[in-house]
Chains A and B, each alone.
Chain A
Amino acid sequence: DVKVTQSSRYLVKRTGEKVFLECVQDMDHENMFWYRQDPGLGLRLIYFSYDVKMKEKGDIPEGYSVSREKKERFSLILESASTNQTSMYLCASSRYRSDGYTFGSGTRLTVV
């Protein structure tokens, strides 16, 4: 069965820390995505990548950056964590643009 694995299920970080959220997929997918999900706001796209070393801004990229050095790994970086970045973060991947996405289980990040 295909899998998208997010490195942590729960994470607590302090304000100002640099935070790395890791996502690995084992399906040789070209496209990878990072979303955050907040009550009342739904899922919002932060960044996506359709190839190694390629990245595109989503709808809410401010305060975030990404890295895709290898096809299977897509990292989300919070350069200086703030309390308004407390959220559920979801990673997803797909092979082709028309295909369905496979999502990871999510990382619930709390910034204190």
Chain B
Amino acid sequence: DAKTTQPNSMESNEEEPVHLPCNHSTISGTDYIHWYRQLPSQGPEYVIHGLTSNVNNRMASLAIAEDRKSSTLILHRATLRDAAVYYCILRDVGSSNTGKLIFGQGTTLQVKP
């Protein structure tokens, strides 16, 4: 399984944009880039995913490098409720794979008022 590298922790101020980086230099052509977040005492929550093009949804934006070896999750205006552990995960959907998610340690985001 291709691996991802994320910083252990990041800090942000409330109402400012946050850019969470992820490196995945060994990504394959059939790997989707997924982002999840986990608030304390809750199950992980899907945030966004993409393959090659940048993606936007109501929660966040995903910027994918042209060579796909890195990506950035963008929270446009951080709120205190965005404080969570953010996981960047590669999901292989090649024909021999069932697309299981393998979680790493993630980035703990602190949001300061």
- List residues of A whose CB falls within 8 A of some B CB: 31, 33, 35, 42-45, 48, 50, 56, 58-59, 90, 92, 94, 96-106
A42–B46 alpha-carbon span in the complex (Å)? 16
B43 touches A105 (CB 8 A): yes
A106–B42 alpha-carbon span in the complex (Å)? 7
Known contacts A97-B93, A98-B32, A98-B93; A43 and B44 CB within 8 A of each other: yes
In order of increasing CB-CB distance, the 7 nearest A-B pairs are A97-B99, A103-B43, A100-B46, A43-B103, A97-B93, A98-B93, A106-B43
A45 touches B102 (CB 8 A): yes
Main secondary structure of the interface of B (DSSP, over half): loop
- List residues of B whose CB falls within 8 A of some A CB: 32, 34, 36, 42-46, 48-49, 51, 91, 93, 97-106
Smallest CB–CB gap between B41 and chain A, Å?
A: 8
Instruction: List, in ascending order, chain B residues with CB within 8 A of A33's CB.
Output: 100-101
A59–B105 alpha-carbon span in the complex (Å)? 16
A50 touches B98 (CB 8 A): yes
B91 touches A97 (CB 8 A): yes
A97–B32 alpha-carbon span in the complex (Å)? 10
B105 touches A42 (CB 8 A): yes
A104 touches B100 (CB 8 A): no
Instruction: Knowing that A31-B98, A33-B101, A102-B46 touch, tell me 19 more A-B residue pairs with CB under 8 angstroms.
Output: A31-B99, A42-B103, A42-B106, A43-B103, A45-B100, A45-B102, A50-B98, A59-B102, A90-B44, A96-B99, A97-B91, A98-B32, A98-B51, A99-B49, A100-B34, A101-B36, A101-B44, A103-B44, A106-B43
